[in-house]
Structure 1
Amino acid sequence: MATYTPMIQQYLTIKADYQDAFLFFRLGDFYEMFFDDALKASQELEITLTSRDGGGVDRIPMCGVPYHSAAGYIETLIERGYKVAICEQVEDPKQTKGVVKREVVQLITPGTIMQGKGIEDKENNFIASISLFDNGSIGLAYNDLSTGENKVTALTGGFNEVVNELASIGAKEVVVGDNLPDSFITELKERFSMVISIENNDNVMDRFSPILSKIHDDSLIRTMSRLLNYLFKTQNRSLDHLQEATTYESNQFLKIDYHSKRNLEITETIRTKGRKGSLLWLLDETKTAMGGRMLKSWMDKPLVNLREIERRQSIVESLIAHYFERQDLREALQNVYDLERLAGRVAFGNVNARDLMQLKKSLLQVPYLIENLRLYDNPNVSELVEVIDPCVELTDLLENAIVDNPPLSIKDGSIIRDGFNKELDQYRDASRNGKTWIAALEQQERERTGIKSLKIGYNRIFGYYIEITRANLGNLEEGRYERKQTLSNAERFITPELKEKETLILQAEEKIVDLEYQLFLTIREEVKGYIPRLQRLARTISEIDVLQCFATISETRKYVKPTFTDDRTIFIEEGRHPVVEKVMKSQEYVPNDCYMDSERDILLITGPNMSGKSTFMRQVALTAILAQSGCFVPATRAVLPVFDQIFTRIGAADDLIAGQSTFMVEMLEAKNAIIHATKDSLILFDEIGRGTSTYDGMALAQAIIEYIHQNIGAKTLFSTHYHELTDLEIKLERVHNIHVSAVEQNGTVVFLHKIKDGPADQSYGIHVAQLAELPDSLIIRAKEILIQLEQSEGKEKPNIPAIESNSITKEDQSQLSFFDQEKIQGNETKHEKKILQELIKLNIVEMTPMDAMNTLYKIQKELKSR
């Protein structure tokens, strides 16, 4: 350290406390980075890497970004999962003899960004903290710094439940103590790309009292305090917008684990991981950003409280009945900005005059909202009206203080209205009158001198001056003006009177800018006092927005109000998959009924691939989710129980990161359902057991059905291609067969997509392969093999002879030949026989996907080397 220059020593000392972050070190008009930070930042940001002498033996790597454009570079780093420590000069360089004092004023992380590309309008940006409790449960707290929301809960389902919750809320960063197991930290980092930050301080500070007032469990208080300590330490500024933390229990909501949400594509699609094509995408008719965020939270956590579900339904029903009033309501909501995030920026101190204008315009819509909602004859709507606070005093303050179109900068003036401050008005009068006097003086001097081109100008170096062209200098009376500057084609002059007015005008303008800035800061501080009221207003408006969204989508898509029953009956008449119905353009969606009562706990669904089994299963689950969120549902009639949990195993997907095969994923998801499901749960199992051998898969599938039937009693939709399982309807009293119908016409299959009672008569697998346009010769051969298999059913394992070589055309040879022509003729080389023997020895079931790919590559390489 001693060999480096004092400035580099200062840099290294500060950097030691921020090893996991890029240190943006302020040097004049640039943020500079050195050593490893410079090497990595130059690559990530694609900026020039240079070097400088720092006093050591070698030159120090260095790169930098301009101060005025640093925000874009910081956003890029945050978006890629990095942290950035902002190190500013905290004293005036002109008044310092040695190295200017510098300090980190803010640590920006993926979980603490307030604005920019990383913040989506209709998405929360959560940062979470985790604490391990002595009783084995785990505390989870999370915060959205941009809105001030705080929530905390205790989870008893181990790390899996914590991971599910973190993935569900989309946490970008997780704050943990250093006692958390490394395996858990690794899973959060590698599987879910969450940034991990260490904070061991969970002490309760006095300033946390307003936030922690509603938490009564000491363990949860410390979990929340760990997160708050991290936030206050890293942000180094006012966090007055942080709201009271609310506690909740997971059983207060319909539990849907992360994998089930993914399988059902509730908030994002499986293929693109984007919003488009998801249930949330279909539903989102919200008009405000904060309403969009509330809609997502309602989809993530549907209700189990029937009274609250019916309250939402009642409001939706009234909104549907008042079409024209609802359109006026939507128009008013369209003009409401993001009150939650505006309040956050006010507290954070980075709000400008335009933001305050957005706040004023939003508040001006509140009286219209109140007037509109009073038109509905519904006690639940009336309750919403009663809690709406129009914040009249704040509206008046902003109306009287801020001009309608203020500039972006808060330091250049032209922000405050005339008449708001007496002293400011006096300065403005002096400035305006001074300029009027100068304009009059210009006209007066033109008349006195007879020089019509005479003009009075201004620049920052000389101030105000009188300019006369060289051609007119002969007309100027000697000694009238004092010469100031000579130009190539003109002379500039001043007078004592002009300089006196200049002083008055410039002093007034300087004082105007300074006073406007101070007045704006005072107004901003006054607005801070309204933050709690603004946040309560934002929650109410968000709820109104989501409910009108439900009403709009229910009316547009012809959804019906579901009713709920205590006897666990499911009766969905002409139900539809909401998203599939919307995206289908070329054909009409085929609706289907679903009926399950006390004698039908398990529906065993058979039918060919592509016929709609998975769609039918998903639509039942999505109908339940919509209903328990308070929305109407896609059907002509719906009677449902209130489910406590939904479990799914749909689709085939390896989890390569966790080193798990498709079959292992199937078994883990099945285990999760079997262990946690109750009789009030809904289970969707799609072709369980297909990832292993036929007999293993069939045995497991039957055992799972039997276990659910005998030990759980949950409503279950179980699709399968194992037709032998359809006999379970006879053996198990609450199992019922249904199938998706299809018909064969002229040798091709036509899917009717209609659910009917009883098992499917055949699977039509070869027909599906034909629709996929596999080679004709392959389809013909498959049919031959199928006939032989069907003829030998119930007998010993059939010996199906290999296809004769003379029945293969030259065209087919190119499609079917894995080896050389010699192989087709039955004359394999020794080299190929060796490879075939190796293939026979492989235990495919126990191989991971990566092992299989490596083995295939090795075989291909050997064959190509011949």
Structure 2
Amino acid sequence: MDAQNVTPMMQQYLSAKEAHPGELLFFRLGDFYEMFFDDAKIAAKELGLTLTSRSGDLDKSPMCGVPYHAADSYIARLVAKGFKVAIAEQIGDPKAKGLTHREVVKVVTPGTALSDEVLRDAANIYIALLHDCGDGKFVLAGADISTGEAFYASYAGETAAQQIMDELYRRMTAELLLTEGFSLSDTVRAFLMQRLPRCAVSMVAAEADGVLLTQHFTATEIPADAGAQTAVETLLHYLHDTVRTDLSQINRLSFLDTRETMQLDTYTLRNLEITRSLRDGGKKNTLFDVLDFTRTPMGTRLLRAWLEHPLLTPHRIDARLDAVAELVENAGLRGTLREQLRSVYDFERLLTRIETQTANARDLVALRVSLAALPAVRTALGRAASRLLMRAAASIQTFDALRDTLERAIVDEPGLSVRDGGIIRTGYDAALDELRVFSHDSKSLLQEMEERERTRTGIKTLKIGYNKVFGYYIEVRHSGRDQVPDDYIRKQTLANTERFITEELKDFEAKILGAEEKITALEYHIFTTLRDEVKAQLVPIQNVARAIARVDVLQSLAEAAASYRYVRPKVTADGTILIRDGRHPLVERILEREIFVPNDTELSHGGTETMLITGPNMAGKSTYMRQVALLTLMAQVGSFVPARTAEIAPVDRIFTRIGASDDLVSGQSTFMVEMNEVAQILREATRDSLVILDEIGRGTSTFDGMSIARAVVEHIDTRIHAKTLFATHYHELTEMENEHIRNYCIAVREKGKNVAFLRRIVAGAADKSYGIHVARLAGLPTKVTARAEEILHALEQKESASAAAEIPVASAQETPLTDGMASLFADGTLAELRTLDVMTMTPLEAMNTLYRLQEQARKEAGEA
């Protein structure tokens, strides 16, 4: 652009843009935010706006704009796509002579957005920073400024990169900052491109003067490590530079201690659908969805955090279970809490809006309503006996004086704007009431003046009116203009009327308009005073919000347990997982007409460490393995579990290798993705881990895949000793059975070509995959499945002949694997028999059940 042709306003714009080259600049011009040049082109494309140009040349000087009152929705759309937006506002009186001063008052980024358009639900919005300390040490610092949460974690060693990426995924990080020279930059960026494509990434310079650390946190919370201090302080500097307030809601810093909680990796979070579904990343059909009976946004966020960070210490798990058990047994207490918590709004975000001066009067009403619920919640908790509920009761202050002030001050249904008046109750402030009386009486005074002027002039059609341009005026029709007195001053001539003013009317106008301006200004002053009163108690109210969140999560888990017939797991320290009649918490909720078939699990270091599970697809192997992992995780969260009984020793990690898809972004095949995941498991799993492996080795040739699968099982069995569920189609692996590796399969009932999958896990090995049957169920043409059976029969005969020529016949002492199938399936019948409640059955029911079980046993034994 030619500098000689740049207007003073455009010089302002270019100066602001030079200071914010990485952001889209929303430049306030009257009632619009305008964008120019490249910013305009980007915004027009992303928001569907029309490009215009003052010069008429769209190529040289494109521009576009959005109304200022609707800007939040446009900004939210840009931020959701990973853009940053700088807001340049008009500073000072826009009506003053000369060029209006403008300056950038804040920058909105994906990790710092605070508008209602962005914070539509209870989910956290995290911003994180990664700092390279050198010597293979890294620090992650993070925050959610909408709630005031702040944290940091340290990583080192060969697993550091994976741990960092897992934490970023757990948090669904919206924005990531990398300090200059961060050595894992390429690795992290590649991961984000695949798993968090909308996460905005920026490079920042490290800053560590110590000022902001001491401003926000107590000495006991400030990290001792210099690298951690640098990471946290650099993040704080970025937040202050961006949001441009003091951010006093960020006043607690927590350390993410990997020794206290289970570290769920990205694969496990995805495969188990703990908080996000594989289908669309949403909440529906997830464990989070099943257990979410929370009543408050704070509780919803905390439940998600508990599910993504299960506990490791038995006594902490039992403390949660004690509280849940009390609420399950005491339905009255649970019902009272659920009813009172309905009235509690999002304390944390209300306080943030108050702190950042973006709150309106409706926010103070929401705070008042929330505070009003606290006495009943504390009274209800006063009857509790479990430690966590008693601690919560002691933590809940009721803020009676503040609530009373807000009750007396704010009307029940204030408007959205705090600068238009109508938000303060009559009777709260004497000066305000006096002004209102004058404003109200002015209407009658105006009527009296109108009647007096009609009488004085004799003009019966005379009336006094008002508009924003001319103010108050006396209107006289042309038919009466001969009667207009000499003291009337002509103001405006219209088609049929003339408008005048008088000295008396001018004096009245000054008084009435002054009163209305004073009323609006005084109401705003009272509002800001109330806002400051709330802000002065920000920290104690935040503490109450955290206590309410914990109570909400505990009652939610109790409500789920009562609704779904869950039982309390016994938490042990002997390394055993013993589940009787376990059910999959998600699948049993989705099933509408089918009855979910429960299954047992027994894993221990003194017995079965690896369950080698064979059987056909669609029979329930994956469901069963996920079920065991989810029940273990639920127990460590502090939740009851869907089972008849459960004894669960906490595991340090849950690893899952279930299904696979091509990693097209990095050019990795399905098999490579699978091997990467298996490599991570073998590298990081310990004796105290739970490992779920489903059909590994399928992405290569049969012998290759079988060899890899066998080697993996051997490695786990001889070196790691993790509790493992290993599902496979390679029936040859069943030969590996030993004291720690036990064969299990899905029970199948065959009658001719009809096959029924019984969904029950039983001891023993399967000898068929039933792939053609599954293909038939999937709808393959009959000719295709019939031809497949012919080919299979020919291959089996060929293999049989080859085996007879090469393999010696089994001796009398050796029992072929298939000979055990009769007793194998009889075990299934016996398992059902053991669950019958004989004492409550009628004689007829008993006879019918006995007959059915006898027929079932004959069929399973091959006799029918």
Residues 475-526 of structure 1, C-alpha deviations (whole Å, 9 max, x = no match): x897898876666566666665554443322221111111212222222222
2:291 to 261, 283, 291: 283
Equivalent in 579, 584, 606 of residue 572 of structure 1: 579
1:537 is matched with which residue?
A: 544
Instruction: Give the one of 766, 772, 775 matched to 2:778.
Output: 772
Note the residue ranges of structure 2 that are not aligned, 5 or more in a row. Answer: 805-864
559, 564, 569: which is aligned to 1:557?
A: 564
2:173 is aligned, of 166, 171, 174, to 171
What is the Cα deviation at residue 471 of structure 1?
Answer: 8.0
Amino acid at match of 2:70: S
1:285 CA drift (Å): 1.0
Report the more deviating stretch, 251-260 or 9-18.
Answer: 9-18
- For residues 404 and 453 of structure 1, the distance between their equivalents in structure 2, rounded to whole angstroms, comes to 42
Evaluate the alpha carbon distance shift between residue 61 and residue 448 of structure 1 in structure 2; reply closer, same or farther with a 3 A threshold.
closer
How far apart are the structure 2 equivalents of 1:229 and 1:145?
13
Instruction: Give the AA of the match of 2:67.
Output: P
Q: Distance in 1 between matches of 2:559 and 2:705?
A: 45
Q: Aligned letter for 1:530?
A: Q
What's the counterpart of residue 77 of structure 1? 78
Supply the AA of the counterpart residue of 2:710.
Answer: Q
* Whole-angstrom CA distance in 2 between matches of 1:505 and 1:118: 41
Counterpart residue number, 1:152: 152
Query: What is the distance in 2 between the residues matched to 1:25 and 1:465?
Result: 39
> 2:212, 2:237 within 8 Å by CA — same for their partners in 1?
no
Could you tell me which residue of structure 1 aligns to residue 322 of structure 2? 314
Distance in 2, Cα, partners of 1:94 & 1:359:
36
Unaligned regions of 5+ residues in structure 1, if any?
Answer: 799-866
Q: Structure 2 residue aligned with 1:196, among 181, 198, 201?
A: 201
Aligned to 1:751, what secondary structure does the other structure show?
A: strand
* Separation of aligned partners in 2, 1:795 and 1:120: 68
Q: Deviations over 1:391-428 (max 9, x none)?
A: 22321221222122111111111112223323222222
3-state SS in 1 of match to 2:565: coil
**Which letter does structure 2 place at the counterpart of 1:16?**
E
Equivalence map 1:349-388=2 (5 Å): 349-388=357-396
Q: CA deviation at 1:349?
A: 1.1
Aligned CA-pair RMSD: 2.6
Q: Alpha carbons of 1:60 and 1:566: their partners in 2 closer, same or farther (altered >3 Å)? A: same
Asked if the contact 1:201/1:229 (under 8 Å) is kept, the reply is: no
User: Counterpart amino acid of 1:134?
Assistant: G
What whole-Å deviation, never above 9, does each CA across 1:131-181 have from its counterpart, x for those lacking one?
112231210011001111100010222212111110111111111112024
The equivalent residue for 1:749 is: 755
| Structure 1 contact 684–717 (Cα < 8 Å) conserved | yes
In the other structure, the counterpart of 2:826 is none
State whether residues 590 and 754 of structure 1, in contact with CA within 8 Å, keep that contact through their aligned partners in structure 2.
yes
Return the offset for 1:592: 0.9
Q: Quick one: which amino acid aligns to residue 590 of structure 1?
A: V
Secondary structure of the residue aligned to 2:134 is coil
CA 1:521–1:251 in structure 2 vs 1: closer, same or farther (change >3 Å)?
Answer: same
SS in 1 for 2:27: strand
Q: Please name the residue that 2:114 is paired with.
A: 114
Paired residue for 1:685?
693
1:836 match:
none
CA distance in 2, matches of 1:470, 1:14: 56
How far apart are the structure 2 equivalents of 1:504 and 1:32?
39
1:253 aligns with 2:275: no
Deviations 1:172-217 (A, max 9, x none): 1111112024413531552222211121132134233143430222
Partner of 1:209: 214
Q: Measure, in 2, the Cα distance between the counterparts of 1:637 and 1:374.
A: 31
Counterpart of 2:589 (choices 577, 582, 588) is 582
Equivalents in 2 of 1:164, 1:4: separation in Å? 53
Q: Greater CA deviation, 563-572 or 611-620?
A: 563-572
The residue identity in structure 2 corresponding to 1:511 is: K
Q: CA 1:461 to 1:34, structure 2 compared with 1: closer, same or farther past 3 Å?
A: closer
Query: Given residue 719 of structure 1, which amino acid in structure 2 is its aligned partner?
Result: A
Deviations, residues 101-147 of structure 1 (Å, cap 9, x unaligned): 43222111111111234334221000000011223121001100111
- The Cα shift of 1:459 comes to 2.8
Structure 1 58/684 Cα, relative in aligned 2: closer, same or farther at 3 Å?
closer
| Structure 1 partner of 2:69 | 68
SS at match of 2:531: helix
Rounded Cα–Cα distance in structure 1 between residues aligned with 2:554 and 2:652: 23
Cα offset, 1:774, TM superposition:
1.0
CA displacement at 1:723 relative to structure 2: 0.7
Matched, 1:102 2:102: yes
Note if contact 2:314-2:572 (Cα within 8 Å) is conserved in structure 1. no
Alignment of 1:668-679 (within 5 A): 668-679=676-687
Partners in 1 of 2:97 and 2:190 — Cα distance? 49
Whether the 8 Å CA contact 1:645–1:677 is kept in 2: the answer is yes
SS in 2 for 1:792: helix
The AA in structure 2 aligned to 1:136 is G
SS at match of 2:390: helix
Q: Is the 8 A contact 1:354 1:408 kept in 2?
A: yes
Q: 1:763 and 2:764 equivalent?
A: no
Report if aligned partners of 1:434, 1:504 keep a CA contact under 8 Å in 2.
no
> Which runs of structure 2 are paired with 1:403-422 in the superposition (5 Å)?
403-422=411-430
Instruction: Give the aligned residue type for 1:119.
Output: L
CA gap of 1:504–1:38, structure 2 versus 1, over 3 A, is closer
Distance apart, 1:665 and its partner CA: 1.4
Residue 58 of structure 1 deviates from its aligned partner by 7.7
Find the counterpart in structure 1 of residue 862 from structure 2: none
Cα distance in 2, alignment partners of residues 527 and 205 from structure 1: 28
The structural deviation recorded for 1:259 is 0.8
Length-normalised TM-score, structure 2: 0.87
Q: Deviations over 1:524-561 (max 9, x none)?
A: 22221111112111111111111111011110010000
Separation in structure 2 between the aligned mates of residue 313 and residue 254 of structure 1, nearest angstrom: 17
2:241 to 211, 233, 242: 233
CA distance in 2, matches of 1:585, 1:518: 58
Match of 2:518 among 506, 511, 515: 511
Give the superposition deviation at 1:441.
Answer: 5.1
Percent identity over paired residues: 44
CA distance in 2, matches of 1:62, 1:497: 50
Q: Taking structure 1 as reference, are residues 189 and 709 closer, same or farther at Cα in structure 2, changes over 3 Å only?
A: closer
What is the distance in 2 between the residues matched to 1:699 and 1:154? 38
Q: Which moved more, 1:17-26 or 1:162-171?
A: 17-26
What SS is found at the alignment partner of 2:523?
helix
Query: By how many angstroms is 1:452 displaced?
Result: 8.2
Give the structure-1-normalised TM-score. 0.87
Q: 2:647 is paired with a residue of what secondary structure?
A: strand
Which is further off, 292-301 or 422-431? 422-431
Deviation at 1:614, TM superposition (A): 0.2
Number of residue pairs matched by the alignment: 793
Q: Deviations over 1:604-634 (max 9, x none)?
A: 1111100000000001111011111111001
Change (3 A) 1:251 1:204: same
Contact 2:165 2:188 in 1 (8 A): no
Instruction: Summarize the Cα distance change of 1:354–1:534 in structure 2 as closer, same or farther, 3 Å threshold.
Output: same
Counterpart in 1 of 2:19?
A: 17
Q: 1:370 to 1:596 in 2, by over 3 A?
A: same
| In structure 1, C-alpha distance between the alignment counterparts of 2:492 and 2:61, rounded to whole Å | 49
Structure 2 distance, partners of 1:753, 1:406, is: 59
CA contact (8 A) 2:216 2:248 kept: no
1:186 aligns with one of 186, 189, 195: 189
8 Å Cα contact 2:132/2:179 also seen in 1: no
Structure 2 CA distance, aligned partners of 1:544 and 1:686?
A: 38
Which whole-Å CA distance do the structure 1 matches of 2:503 and 2:100 have between them? Answer: 43
Look up the match of 2:131: 131
CA contact (8 A) 2:51 2:58 kept: no
Structure 2 residue aligned with 1:244: 252
Specify whether residues 325 and 173 from structure 1 end up closer, same or farther in structure 2 by C-alpha distance, changes over 3 A only: same
Looking at structure 2, the residues matched to 686 and 323 of structure 1 have their Cα atoms a distance apart, in angstroms, of 41
